[in-house]
Structure 1
């Protein structure tokens, strides 16, 4: 999702009244349910965490900002502009107080945007600015969230929940396996950088790949040397039992 102008012009008829279609949800705040029309959203790409060194008597600089295939970024600001219309002055003041009260006290958590089905942001509300137009009995709210630089999949890879499928960037794959002897598998990370993996094992299963090898017994593992590079990750399993790899794509949009 890059920076662009947008207006929610679609209308959902409910009790013969126009209802917003485009929405964000954050905590218990649902912009559409609260009568806020989404007019604009902006999500410019985040700035890089640059690490550079200058060597005397050499051309240019040395850039250490990339480790392996990963570039590292600061948080990104995601900005939304909403309108709320058709309320008296006293009602508008209540609505203004409510949006600030519902967004600002919350800590870091998931931010869902109807523009990106199947994905969410992770962040906290940075500011809420509201202006009142008495002539048109309307409020305009500008809401800024400070978010983790990548959008995160709502469901673990391999879940294949139909409503989340986005064919231009999707792969159907198995992430759970029954092991009886030796078998080769291929886990595909369609995200924008390496993915950490939660591994759940019953029995005893050894995993071998480019990372090296390890043997796991019955249990849940969240901190191992196995991370999935972007693209295909070919692994060999050996042993007896079951193993499930749980990971989420993180996408630069």
Structure 2
């Protein structure tokens, strides 16, 4: 069978990793088909009463998207035909792996350096054949793909020369000055701010005064592209975030 020839001849086998478990390495599931859906954009325009004017909330909050759907089909098999008991045991392993109810990281071997935040849907579609089975699994995901590498790290293997910008995201602060931070993603992101000393951060009319520590929930939001940030105080600050794309 093709599934075993792929392993013998050293061909890379397509796979997904969900909640830290790899479909091929850990469960020997051969990924035979993948459908990576794109999220549908929600309309965010409203008409101002008694006028022909429309207001687009995307201007303020950014675009809104519905969750996206990923579908994968696997072959469950062994070099020789599986006994019914072995097949049922494997199905139990898969059910425990894909237990619905919580979103986990899902990465797909054909989309390197990105992951989805995904939840498996519980209605798995099994088709039993003679000695093997086909499994179809659907995941519902956060609309954006998230880059594996923090934008503040120098990781040239994951650098996308057409879109990324090499930048130093750690800034020394003494007095008041401005800096620029580039968000190469398509979604607005809230950066993690790592501070020594005491630093005030201002962006788009919002400000945060931060002391020593790691601050993950702030009012500082990075828009797509260049962001001009005003810094004041004394110490250092590092902007830590991952870009998100469709």
Relative to the length of structure 2, the TM-score reads 0.83
Cα distance in 1 between the residues matched to 2:100 and 2:208: 44
Q: 8 Å contact 2:44–2:64 — kept in the other structure?
A: no
Contact (CA 8 Å) 2:48, 2:55: kept in 1 or not? no
Equivalent residue in structure 1 for 2:198, among 198, 204, 212: 204
* 1:132 alignment partner, one of 121, 128, 142: 128
Alpha-carbon deviation of 1:53? 4.4
1:22 aligns with 2:17: no
Aligned to 1:46: 39
Matched, 1:73 2:65: yes
The answer to which of 29-38 and 41-50 deviates more is 41-50
Aligned 8 A contact 1:120 1:151 in 2: yes
RMSD: 2.9
The DSSP-based 3-state class of the residue aligned with 1:196 is coil
1:101: which partner in 2? Answer: 96
Shift in alpha-carbon separation, 1:237–1:28, aligned structure 2, 3 A:
closer
More off after superposition, 112-121 vs 210-219: 210-219
- Contact 1:194–1:227 at 8 Å: present in 2 too? yes
1:241 aligns with 2:235: yes
Where do 5+ consecutive residues of structure 1 fail to align?
1-7
Q: Say if 2:71 and 2:137, in contact at 8 Å, map to a contact too.
A: yes
Contact 2:100–2:119 (8 Å) recurs in 1: no
User: 1:54 & 1:233 partners in 2: Cα distance?
Assistant: 30
The total of aligned residue pairs comes to: 240
The runs of 4+ residues in structure 1 deviating greater than 4 Å are: 8-13, 17-20, 51-59
Instruction: Give the structure with the higher percent strand.
Output: 1
Conserved? CA contact 1:78–1:146, under 8 Å? yes
* 8 Å Cα contact 1:178-1:241 kept in structure 2: yes
- On the 8 A contact 1:69/1:193 being kept in 2, the answer is no
Q: Are 2:171 and 2:237, in contact at CA under 8 Å, matched by a contact in 1?
A: yes
Structure 2: which 5+ runs fail to align? Answer: none
Task: Note if 1:122 corresponds to 2:114.
Answer: no
